[in-house]
A and B are shown apart, each in its own frame.
Chain A
Amino acid sequence: ETGVTQTPRHLVMGMTNKKSLKCEQHLGHNAMYWYKQSAKKPLELMFVYNFKEQTENNSVPSRFSPECPNSSHLFLHLHTLQPEDSALYLCASSQGNRDTNTEAFFGQGTRLTVV
């Protein structure tokens, strides 16, 4: 248990569906991240929120829409996805204070399959 919880663990959705991934952290952190992990590729940063403000958007297609209502919760809204979007989606959190060196802690991920 890392203190970062992701739901659901597995999701199968059609290309016309709309679904959301949820992440919650109980570590008192201020920064939260979405990463995409595909086979044979490094973890790809998608979005970063620091104190609820989006600080990084790594040229992610608009069919992925993040939402960070507070420092403990992060959502990833999905709509009209493509089969190539099938991957493991990982959420992480960290202290978020740029004056300190800090590690990120990851959730267990959501395995997404687009059919």
Chain B
Amino acid sequence: EDQVTQSPEALRLQEGESSSLNCSYTVSGLRGLFWYRQDPGKGPEFLFTLYSAGEEKEKERLKATLTKKESFLHITAPKPEDSATYLCAVQAKNTDKLIFGTGTRLQVFP
């Protein structure tokens, strides 16, 4: 069964304190792995798509990496505005389904 597990469940960082969020997955043939950011009361906002092991993508203070079993979202020198829940999802080949993890709730304090 396709599955996504995210850790930690919650993360508190001081402004400027870099860290990483983990997304472990099992899927029957990966079509894509997706990272989203979600603010309270809003819909998820698309960040990155990763297609194959070894791939990396960057956007401002965020960098996403992918292996055959997991993905990391690295946050460098975070700011309070980076506070949000970060969601990971996978999509298997020959399916329209996106399977989500429970997310990591990130809080960045000044």
Closest residue of chain B to A96 (Cβ to Cβ) is B96
Query: How many residues belonging to B are interface residues under a CB distance threshold of 8 Å?
Result: 27
Q: Which of B14-22, B37-45, B62-70 contacts A (4 or more CB under 8 A)?
A: B37-45
Partner among A42, A48, A90, A101 whose Cβ is within 8 Å of the Cβ of B43: A90
* 7 sample A-B contacts, Cβ–Cβ < 8 Å, listed by A number: A2-B43, A42-B102, A48-B96, A55-B96, A106-B45, A107-B43, A109-B41
Complex interface bits, B91-104 against A, C-beta within 8 A gives 1, otherwise 0: 10111111111110
Pair A109/B42 contact, Cβ less than 8 Å? yes
With the chains together, A4 CA to B31 CA distance in Å? 23
With the chains together, A106 CA to B36 CA distance in Å? 10
Known contacts A98-B95, A101-B91, A103-B49; 19 additional CB pairs below 8 A are A2-B43, A4-B43, A33-B98, A42-B4, A43-B87, A45-B97, A55-B96, A56-B95, A56-B96, A90-B44, A92-B98, A98-B94, A101-B31, A101-B51, A104-B46, A106-B43, A106-B46, A108-B43, A111-B41
